[in-house]
Amino acid sequence: METHAPVLAAHPFLQDLDPRHLKIIGECASRVNFNAGEFLCREQDEATKFFLINHGQVAVEIYRHRRGPVTIQTLGEGEALGWLWFEKPYHWHFDARAGQLTRALALDVKCLKQKCEQDHELGYALMKRYAHLLAVQFRVTILQLVDMYGK
């Protein structure tokens, strides 16, 4: 049986997490690869995976009828994609496309949520990391808006 614990432990999103929790999360993980141009997710699709990017580059895009796909963020090694699955309706609000060969761990969100319900310490540890991820995303969005509309 393949263990994902060492790869999970090395990812910044999960660094310093209790080894017991890494083992639990590993039960929900699978290794995935995406070739350049391949989508990790599409807008309006059900959000069933949370991705921890280990190698490569992912463009987070929104589609505008007049301009086509617009990249709003680029993610790379050590970053996470999929902060929307904690709150209903559990659908993606953007597209994410690999800009080059991208390797990641995909965490099955139903499995992960079930593990968090069973182990509230794990759920709290992940929620703290999620809160940090969202705070960083919020700051990035503010800087983008200032850059676009600031004087």
The amino acid at residue 87 is E
pLDDT reading at 151 higher than 60: no
Q: What's the whole-model pTM score?
A: 0.88
Domain interval for residue 22: 5-149
CA distance 72 to 141: 9
**Which one has a higher pLDDT value, 70 or 36?**
36
pLDDT tens digits for range 49-68: 999 999 999 999 988 888 88
In sequence order, which residues have a C-beta less than 8 Å from that of residue 148 and are 6 or more positions away? none
Confidence of residue 10 (pLDDT cuts 50, 70, 90): very high
Confidence of residue 143 (pLDDT cuts 50, 70, 90): confident
- The b-or-e profile of 80-118 (16+ CB within 10 A means b, else e) is bbbebbbeeeeebebbbbbbeebebbbbbbeebbebbee
Confidence of residue 26 (pLDDT cuts 50, 70, 90): very high
Q: Left, alpha or beta for 46 (phi > 0: left; psi -120 to 50: alpha)?
A: beta
Average of per-residue pLDDT across 35-54? 94
pLDDT reading at 2 higher than 90: no
Residue percentage of the chain with pLDDT more than 90: 60
The number of domains in the chain is 1
Whose tokens are 């993606």? That residue is 92
Q: What is the pLDDT of residue 78?
A: 95
CA-CA-CA-CA torsion sign (116, 21, 124, 138): negative
Query: Mean pLDDT for the chain?
Result: 89
Angle at alpha carbon of residue 147, lines to 143 and 150, rounded to 5°: 110
The amino acid at residue 90 is Y
Q: What is the CATH number of the domain that holds 64?
A: 2.60.120.10
